A and B are shown apart, each in its own frame.
Chain A
Amino acid sequence: MKVMIRGNESIAYAFKLARVQVVPAYPITPSTLVPEKISELIANGEMKAEFVPVESEHSAMSAAIGASAKGVRVGTATASQGLALMHEVLFIASGMRLPIVMGIGNRALSAPINIWCDHQDMMSQRDTGWMQFYAESNQEGLDLGIMAFKIAEDERVLLPAMVGIDAFVLTHTVEPVELPEQKDVDDFLGEFVPHYVTLDPQNPATLGSFGFPEHFMEFKYGQWIAMERAKKVIDEVFEEFEERFGRKYMKVYPEFVEDAEIILVTMGSMTSTTREFVRRLREQGKKVGLVKLTVFRPFPKEELREILKNAKVVAVVERNISFGFGGAVYAELSSTFSRMKEKPKIVDFIVGLGGRDITFNTLNSVVEIAEKAMHEEVDEVNWIDVNKEAVLKAEGLL
């Protein structure tokens, strides 16, 4: 069934179709509509779940852990400061191997306070042991939301997952979305069976024990193994999803890359703009390609090496910044190629922070520098569409 819905509703419908049993959530722009929609679906009798209107995001994730440990399917949603407030408990959810799924309305972090899109919130959580998916559209938000449960709950994985949808660009924008039938999603996900030890009075177990140095590393190694195994599980789930629902997903989605000299790497909604931009460059005969990174954790090193190895320049276009180094995707991609003899020149482009539009002009600036990089040295990290003069004045440099 085709419906016109906002990105937040994609997440809410993914939860409904996955028959999520407990949703603890706290409102925050731009993801507030997720708990609102869940509350509405429950009030209308369209969804059977316990909604827990907690008093903070920290408690949202804590309640999610409690519920998941009791052995039910749990979903929640947040963004930005809310996700940052959860930071402590995110490590605990993954360390306890609980397959919680969380929608994120990707938004900038303060200061200054800003409610618009960038990927700083999720990127700042990359080491928490959660899988990370980034959606390009509301359709992808819904599909990845459903698939995230299947991947997270797989016996080989048992790790929590977050699905990012860009603030406002997706969260608040109405798009046509193909809503799968409940029966088809039921068949795809199967009935929820926790493949982990739960809080059960019939089999009393201790969860969240105290780990000493003699065991701690083994638990972390287990998480490492699980994240590595998730790579294959993600592929399997993506394939099965395509067979059942006809929509194709790949951890790394390449377009126009075969003979490309310059390849742009993007994530989230900026991919749509970039695709059209690249298509036009192709019409002009320019050998430019596009790679969409749908999965950031586990980082798809193998696929990226294969797809990008023949490019002359890889332009990482990203909406986050790790001060003191560069963008997070740039850092990881550079490491990915560190052992390869033949490798493309990787250049970083910081764009679209705090909701600044990413336009053809933005991408023109990116490609201009990338073309230059083919035959001369350019800066490693390039800030695009920034009033540098004003900043230099403010910093006392001009």
Chain B
Amino acid sequence: MEVITRGAVIPEPGNSVENKTGTWRVFKPIIHYEKCIRCLICWQFCPEPAILLYEDEETKKKTPAPKEPLKRLPVVEIDYDYCKGCGICYNECPVNAIEFVKEEK
């Protein structure tokens, strides 16, 4: 994209991905997959969105789960490039699978 466009138009959809808002983080959510029941509530409520959904068999299978059948379900991963550390995922997780720890810089 040129430095200046006519009328301040931004022709590149979603190019805010260039802003790595992960630098804002003070607290950091960490998913403990051995507890995660893959309910997707954290994905549902992430305001960035910085929780990515993986549906490919490889990721689903290789990610640990409390019970083997859960590995059939899509799994999430936190994208720390964008996670601002609001903690909604940690607060809403129904099985306390997300830990919220002070960010180490």
* Interface residues in chain A, defined as those with a beta carbon under 8 Å from any beta carbon in chain B: 95-98, 158, 196-197, 203-209, 211, 215, 218-219, 222
Contact = CB atoms under 8 A, between A and B. Distances in A.
A196 B6 CA distance: 8
Q: Top 5 nearest A-B pairs by Cβ distance?
A: A97-B7, A206-B10, A204-B13, A197-B9, A218-B4
Interface residues of B, number: 10
A196 B7 contact: yes
Residue in B5, B7, B9, B11 with the greatest tally of chain A CB atoms within 10 Å: B7
A292 B5 CA distance: 37
15 contacts: A97-B6, A158-B6, A158-B7, A196-B7, A196-B9, A197-B5, A197-B9, A206-B10, A206-B13, A207-B7, A207-B9, A215-B4, A218-B3, A219-B7, A222-B7
Contact of B4 (A97, A204, A205, A219): A219
B44 to A, nearest CB: 24
Contacts, number: 44
Nearest to B5: A197
A203 B5 CA distance: 16
A222 B13 contact: no
A209 B9 contact: yes
Instruction: Name the prevailing secondary structure of the B interface residues.
Output: loop
Nearest to A214: B3
A205 B9 contact: yes
Given A95-B7, A98-B7, A222-B4, 16 more contacts: A97-B6, A196-B6, A197-B9, A197-B11, A204-B13, A205-B10, A205-B13, A206-B10, A206-B13, A208-B8, A209-B8, A209-B10, A211-B8, A218-B4, A219-B7, A219-B8
A222 to B, nearest CB: 6
Contacts of A96: 7-8
Contacts of B7: 95-98, 158, 196-197, 207, 219, 222
B72 to A, nearest CB: 34
A98 B9 CA distance: 12
A376 B4 CA distance: 53
A222 B6 contact: yes
Contacts of A197: 5-7, 9, 11
